[in-house]
Structure 1
Amino acid sequence: MTITTPDVRTPTSNTKYMHGLDLIRILAALAVIFTHYANWLRLNGHDFPVGRAVDGLVSGPLHLYRPITLFGVGVGTFLLISGMVVTHVAFKETPGQFMVRRAVRLLPAMWVAVALAWVLVSNGLLTANRPPDLDDLPLNMALLNLFVPATSSVLAITWTLVVQMFFYLYVAGTMPLLKRWPWLPPAMSVALVSVLLAVIPANGGPPAIGFRMVVTFLPLFFIGQLITLVRAGRIPAAAGVLCGVVQFLLFIRADLGSEVWPPEDEFPRQLLILVLVVLLATRLDTPLVRKPWIGAAAKRTYATYLLHIPLGFPVLELLTPTTGFWVALVVALAAVAVGSELLYRFVENPIAQWFRKRERQKVTTNP
């Protein structure tokens, strides 16, 4: 967020591209798809030898959550990377420009995916927490479904976008401070998360559950922010590590205090591993990660994240009983690949390009 992150091929302060993060984004998207599809099989009573192998070879030795194997790996990676890249961008934009660009980049594709999911759920081709009605569609498109009681969440994975939008609001609101005193917004974020964890109920229904979800996962974005600030030399490494450790402890505090968020008890352990992997990826600069197809695939991970459930699950549901899982899986993945390409090529990218062109024209006509 993103699945959902801006283009990580943005140069850092030393004009060096972080090519390794492209590869990490692709692996994170595969981890999310694997987890959701493995869970679909388990919940529908199908055996999945690959899932058992991953549990035995990866999830077990690393003490990751089972049987929801790689959920934290995929989602955690996206949130960390988003915090990194968005912080870099914040130094080059105004608060209003920052928010509008993020909205233009993320929302149109999300609206298409939510509308598709609403149609599928309404017709019984996709499941949700409750049957939807017409009023649920605008609530889901506005990312308010977790805050309004008795609302159907037709595309549950958009919860990551909710957290992301709150982080964007924080970055926009503290942008003047970030540009002048880069250490101040991270320090303020520690106090903010701590206070919110103390006042928001750990368990319960909407809207408390929505706000608790946001404050639980905000530390991942702030850890990503700290990585960028330290890498760019804007804050001392010691200060970044100290603040990052406190954010990690706040995440553990959120985990211990709630039965709902995060959904895995092992998520904090996964977060430690992910931070190390992302740090290594920032220095990864090999011929492989520079391949054009790596960059192209990374740019489509957001569309893939949005569509892998509403396009893949109905295919699995319809085909598995007659063709078996493996044939159904190939067809489902092909449908997701085609849908993701169409969503990126005809919605996500052209709208973003149109908006940037419009911005340039305004600058030209209003020097």
Structure 2
Amino acid sequence: MTETVVSTAKPESGTTPSVGVEVRPAKAVPPPHRRRNSSGGRLRALDGLRLIAALMVAAYHYGGRGGDVNRAWGTSPQDQFPTLHSWFAYGPLGVHIFFVISGFVICMSGWGRPLRSFFASRASRLLPAYWVAVVLVAGVFALPGVAYAAVSPSDALTNLTLLQEPIGAQRVLGVDWTLWVEIRFYALFALFIVLPGADRRRVVLFCAVWTLAAAIAQASGDPTLALVLMPEYAPFFIGGMGIYLLHRDRRDALAWGIVGVSWLTGQHYAVAGLWHAHSPNEFSYRSASVIVLIVTLGLAAVLAIALGWLNWADWRWLTVAGALTYPFYLVHEHLGWVVIKVLHQDFGLASWMTMGLTVAAMLTLAWLMNRYVEKRMTPWLRGVLARVR
């Protein structure tokens, strides 16, 4: 969720005999599924998929649930979107797609990278936009006339560490629980893959052991094991890692097995978590079949991109879409509620127009954050952290 793919892995060398009377040494060329597209190897379709996943989550926060968003609309989103609200309720599955993408991208970016560089890359990618989002949301919610309560100054400061979840501080951003999941994945990956040095054998072993250990954690009911091994989310990260192995070699039978098992276990956890409403805030009873379908399509989309089947989707605007995804994801929920209230209740705009303008406003804010925060602070912070000894 949190990284844009920069380039594909370097192709493995090999020889291809020429056909004819004289056999000459052939130049090393990548296999067809590994050849670069016109963007120099950037998987732009993956950028587009990340934005789709973020928009799924936004649709859920704006129109697929109740709770605090009711105050923005002045009534339940069920009344605003009588037909679409039941489809918006599937939006949380966008997070599962993010986790698959994250497994793919982290495996790609961590391959052959030393631990210090990996840490600098992850921290500089997550923190600048996150810090600004925390300050913006905490500040806006503290303004007079805003209906939503701001967190205490102490909790707001704690949120800057990204450790508010484990230490029990109130969250500023509703979506930041997913960042705590990502951080635990980064820690596992760094400890077992980056530190000893990434290679195919180690990644396969890590995926297999994590799959089994996560199942044991689920069966044991031990909260500490569940905290570390994340059985409900592990299949999606593992599936993304398996897809990256297929990106390197689509004939890798073990990688196909990793992806298959991850799909089978992942759809189970997704159905178990989202099938029925768990609270008054989740007013739609979702279909198990639709949940399985969306999980399947998400995995299939990442797989199709990894295998090069979507290389034709090589449009430059997808790179911009990928760059906006993370800041949009951070700010869209709480600040979006404020915009919805102003547009719908104060200005009287129709529900569908309010939804569209709110998404556009949050994308504009995300563009500003990307241009004036991420593009300036990310390289600086990466350089500072890379020099730390």
TM over 0.5: yes
Give the Cα separation in 2 of the matches to 1:121 and 1:195: 42
* Contact kept in structure 2, 1:80 and 1:223, CA below 8 Å: yes
Partner of 2:258: 243
* Residues 75-84 or 30-39, more deviating: 30-39
Distance 1:177 1:358, change over 3 A: closer
Correspondence 1:188 to 2:209: yes
> Deviation digits for residues 49-105 of structure 1, max 9, x if unmatched?
9955546xxxxxxxxxx3543324422222111111110111131122112211111
Partner of 1:271: 295
Give the Cα separation in 2 of the matches to 1:255 and 1:33: 18
Equivalent position SS for 1:71: coil
Corresponding letter in the other structure for 1:98: F
Post-superposition offset of 1:325: 3.9
Specify which of 240, 243, 265 is matched with residue 224 of structure 1: 240
Give the Cα separation in 1 of the matches to 2:228 and 2:189: 19
Specify which of 298, 305, 308 is matched with residue 322 of structure 2: 298
Q: % of aligned pairs identical? A: 24
Task: In structure 2, list runs of 5 or more residues that go unmatched.
Answer: 12-34
Specify which of 338, 342, 350 is matched with residue 318 of structure 1: 342
Partner of 2:304: 280
Specify which of 90, 107, 111 is matched with residue 87 of structure 1: 107
Within a 5 Å distance, the mapping from 1:41-120 to structure 2 comes to: 43=70, 44=73, 45=75, 51-54=81-84, 66=86, 68-120=88-140
Give the Cα separation in 2 of the matches to 1:245 and 1:69: 26
* Contact kept in structure 1, 2:344 and 2:354, CA below 8 Å: yes
Residue-pair matches, total? 336
* Contact kept in structure 2, 1:316 and 1:332, CA below 8 Å: yes
Correspondence 1:170 to 2:188: yes
Partner of 1:348: 374
Give the Cα separation in 2 of the matches to 1:177 and 1:357: 22
Give the Cα separation in 2 of the matches to 1:87 and 1:135: 36
Within a 5 Å distance, the mapping from 1:7-26 to structure 2 comes to: 7-14=4-11, 16=36, 17=41, 18-26=43-51
* Contact kept in structure 1, 2:210 and 2:229, CA below 8 Å: no
Corresponding letter in the other structure for 2:157: P
Corresponding letter in the other structure for 2:262: Q
Post-superposition offset of 1:329: 3.9
* Contact kept in structure 2, 1:84 and 1:228, CA below 8 Å: yes
Specify which of 157, 168, 172 is matched with residue 154 of structure 1: 172
TM-score, normalised to structure 1, is 0.78
Specify which of 157, 168, 178 is matched with residue 138 of structure 1: 157
Distance 1:292 1:212, change over 3 A: same
Correspondence 1:335 to 2:358: no
Post-superposition offset of 1:229: 1.0
Partner of 2:31: none
Partner of 1:63: none
Cα RMSD for the two superposed structures: 3.4
Post-superposition offset of 1:134: 2.0
Equivalent position SS for 1:153: coil
Distance 1:348 1:38, change over 3 A: same
* Contact kept in structure 2, 1:311 and 1:332, CA below 8 Å: no
* Residues 13-22 or 323-332, more deviating: 323-332
Distance 1:258 1:296, change over 3 A: closer
* Contact kept in structure 2, 1:194 and 1:250, CA below 8 Å: no
Give the Cα separation in 1 of the matches to 2:181 and 2:205: 21
Distance 1:127 1:220, change over 3 A: farther
* Residues 10-19 or 345-354, more deviating: 10-19
Corresponding letter in the other structure for 1:227: I
Within a 5 Å distance, the mapping from 1:255-266 to structure 2 comes to: 266=288
TM-score, normalised to structure 2, is 0.74
Corresponding letter in the other structure for 2:244: T
> Deviation digits for residues 1-28 of structure 1, max 9, x if unmatched?
x1x2x11242234363322212212222
* Residues 89-98 or 44-53, more deviating: 44-53
Post-superposition offset of 1:344: 0.7
> Deviation digits for residues 199-246 of structure 1, max 9, x if unmatched?
4458xxxxx79938944212211110110012212x963322323333
Give the Cα separation in 1 of the matches to 2:212 and 2:79: 46
